[in-house]
Structure 1
Amino acid sequence: MTTPPSPFENLKHLAEQGDPTQRAKTVGAALQAIPELQHWLREIRQGAVQEMRDEGMSHADVGKELGLSRARAQQISEGRTTGKRAATESAEA
């Protein structure tokens, strides 16, 4: 893959570093930080959904706007996880 997915186009410079050792180290550090990145992105999404709710949108309206079910919109606004991540988080608790 020579082009990153569209939300991450500004990371293309990682693939363009000249020194392969430094490139591997930099990308390795980025890969290690992915769980923290996911947590940060989930917090941003949760905040945005909460703002939509504060503006008077119902969970159903939020879900429709974001292409999600009403239930998933509610889960996001409450910070609840689903699927494999939820199973992993409850096993760690």
Structure 2
Amino acid sequence: MTNPPSPFENLKHLAEQGDPIQRAKTVGAALQAIPELQHWLREIRQGVVQEMRDDGLSHAQVAAELSISRARAQQIAEGRTTGKRADQDSDNHPK
């Protein structure tokens, strides 16, 4: 079996549970929760970018530190999404 991406190595135990039925249920529940996980991670990232801005970094400096564009750093700080995710978010949260 392959290993999970490095940020998720602590989830490897999901693949190592003995009972296949429980393993399937646990992994299924984890898969269902991925959108919530993504939302949570985006909130954390936004907060960190805002903290960097509060510490005096410009959007350009934040961008350089995170290896993203200046425009993307500003979008993250403002909580804006782009592309496919923005379309999905607007479908789920009409204005």
Corresponding residue number in structure 1 for 2:56: 56
Corresponding residue number in structure 1 for 2:12: 12
- Deviations 1:26-85, CA, capped at 9 Å, x for gaps: 000000000000000000000000000000000000001100000000000000000101
TM (norm. structure 1) is: 0.96
Does residue 90 in structure 1 map to residue 93 in structure 2? no
- List structure 1 runs of 4+ shifted beyond 2 angstroms: none
Corresponding residue number in structure 2 for 1:31: 31
5+ long unaligned stretches in structure 1:
none
Inter-partner Cα distance in structure 2 for 1:91 and 1:25: 29
Count of matched residue pairs? 93
5+ long unaligned stretches in structure 2:
none
Secondary structure of the equivalent of 1:15?
Answer: helix
Corresponding residue number in structure 2 for 1:21: 21
Shift of 1:2: 2.2
